[in-house]
């Protein structure tokens, strides 16, 4: 049952992202109206939502808070916030936002989960543009804590504050992105790394499997507790500058997507879904990676924790051997 005083949340689209967004708000005690136009996807929702209940060991009764609709207006009726997670097409999102404007109160906050389309463009023709904001969740949205809250030129500060508060209360970790730029912050960082990784493989420096090992067993192993800014300060900016002097000019600077990536796509090598992309995927291997990722992320979700403490304890380095005291060498992380 929804908790008294919890605002209604509308969710548009019950696909990969939408069903997880609906779940996380229901788990935080909100009543949720979920609009999904495709009958087969609507029919698959109970099973997909039940799988999250099972993954988390949550009370299945919380699913009663999610009402699914085949029409937009009843799903968002009375909602304080609407999160749009429809396909990544600008005309479609503009049409949905126009419909939303006539279906909700003028103060209802309208958030788009677009990965790349600026909310400035999505909300361009609306009357009340101050309540349009970007909220970029990460897949799977019920497992990855971060949500980038992107303020466009028209979004009011009050709307950003209210959206961040709502997300915090639902156990997410919102960050304020002050400019509506392509890729926001997270995807710019992620794609900067992918650009170099693809160029290294294309140049024959190493294979794709080695790239994954270097990240997962190297700096990636500590990234969840030591961000790149913290790491730079930890090793010292003088060292960071010395390395940058040697390295930056040597990094890939291909203009546009790398030809190696274009060739893979043209050859139909799209990744796990076609059995080959940057790596080859045999039977069961893709599913093993996917479920391993879900199990890892769900193990980091603390049961009963709704709000993260503002000042989290920082773990910088751990002794390599249990029981061994830290030495200065342990905090060297370059």
Ligand X SMILES: NC(=O)c1ccc[n+]([C@@H]2O[C@H](COP(=O)([O-])OP(=O)(O)OC[C@H]3O[C@@H](n4cnc5c(N)ncnc54)[C@H](O)[C@@H]3O)[C@@H](O)[C@H]2O)c1
Which residues of this protein are in contact with ligand X, per CB under 6 A? 12-18, 35-38, 41, 85-88, 92, 96, 113-115, 137, 139
Given 136, 142, 152, 258, which residue is catalytic? 136
Report the C-alpha gap between 298 and 53 in whole angstroms: 11
Number of Cβ within 10 Å of residue 140's Cβ equals 21
Strand order in the sheet with 173-177: 66-69, 32-35, 9-12, 81-84, 109-112, 132-137, 146-150, 173-177
Which residue, 116 or 251, is less far from ligand X as judged by CB? 116
Query: How near is the Cβ of 107 to ligand X at its closest, in Å?
Result: 22
Q: How many residues does the chain have?
A: 334
Given 30, 112, 148, 152, which residue is catalytic? 148
Which residue, 16 or 51, is less far from ligand X as judged by CB? 16
Which residue has its beta carbon closest to ligand X? 15
Which residue, 37 or 74, is less far from ligand X as judged by CB? 37
Which residue, 115 or 156, is less far from ligand X as judged by CB? 115
Task: List, as one string, the DSSP characters of 134-193.
Answer: EEEE-SSTTT--EEEEE--TT--HHHHHHHHHHHHHTT-EEEEE-S--TTTTHHHHHHHH
Given 115, 156, 232, 298, which residue is catalytic? 115
Query: How near is the Cβ of 187 to ligand X at its closest, in Å?
Result: 9
298 catalytic? Reply is no
148 catalytic? Reply is yes
Phi, psi angle pair for 13, to nearest 5° = 100, 125
Query: How near is the Cβ of 137 to ligand X at its closest, in Å?
Result: 6
DSSP at 35: E
Phi, psi angle pair for 37, to nearest 5° = -75, -25
Using alpha carbons only, what angle is made at residue 140 by residues 7 and 198, rounded to the nearest 5 degrees?
140
Report how far Cα 96 is from the mean position of its chain's Cα atoms. 22
Cis upstream peptide for 140 (omega within 30°)? yes
Query: How near is the Cβ of 156 to ligand X at its closest, in Å?
Result: 23
136 catalytic? Reply is yes
191 catalytic? Reply is no
Query: How near is the Cβ of 139 to ligand X at its closest, in Å?
Result: 3
Which residue, 73 or 199, is less far from ligand X as judged by CB? 73
Q: Which residues are catalytic?
A: 115, 136, 148, 187
């Amino acid at each position: 049952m929804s908790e008294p005083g919890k605002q209604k949340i509308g969710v548009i689209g019950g696909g990969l992202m939408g069903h997880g967004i609906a779940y996380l708000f229901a788990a935080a005690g909100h009543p949720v109206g979920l609009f999904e136009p495709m009958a087969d996807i609507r029919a698959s929702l109970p099973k997909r939502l039940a799988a999250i209940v099972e993954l988390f060991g949550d009370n299945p009764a919380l699913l009663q808070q999610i009402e699914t609709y085949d029409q937009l207006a009843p799903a968002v009726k009375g909602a304080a916030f609407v999160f749009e997670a429809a396909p990544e097409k600008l005309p479609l999102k503009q049409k949905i936002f126009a419909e939303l404007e006539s279906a909700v109160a003028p103060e209802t906050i309208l958030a788009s989960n677009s990965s790349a389309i600026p909310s400035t463009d999505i909300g361009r023709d609306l009357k009340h543009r101050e309540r349009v904001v970007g909220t970029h969740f990460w897949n799977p949205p019920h497992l990855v804590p971060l949500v980038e809250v992107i303020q466009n030129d028209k979004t009011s500060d009050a709307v950003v504050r209210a959206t961040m508060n709502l997300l915090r209360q639902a156990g997410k970790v919102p960050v304020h992105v002050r400019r509506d730029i392509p890729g926001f912050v997270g995807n710019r960082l992620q794609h900067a790394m992918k650009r170099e990784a693809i160029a290294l493989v294309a140049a024959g420096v190493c294979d794709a499997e080695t790239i994954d090992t270097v990240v997962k067993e190297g700096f990636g192993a500590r990234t969840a507790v030591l961000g790149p800014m913290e790491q730079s300060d930890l090793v010292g900016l003088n060292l960071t500058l010395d390395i940058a002097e040697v390295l930056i000019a040597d990094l890939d600077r291909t203009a546009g997507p790398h030809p190696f990536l274009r060739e893979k796509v043209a050859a139909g090598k799209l990744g796990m879904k076609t059995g080959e992309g940057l790596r080859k995927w045999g039977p069961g291997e893709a599913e093993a990676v996917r479920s391993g990722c879900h199990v890892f992320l769900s193990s980091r979700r603390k049961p009963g924790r709704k709000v993260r403490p503002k000042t989290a304890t920082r773990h910088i380095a751990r002794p390599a051997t249990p029981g061994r005291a830290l030495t200065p060498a342990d905090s060297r992380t370059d």
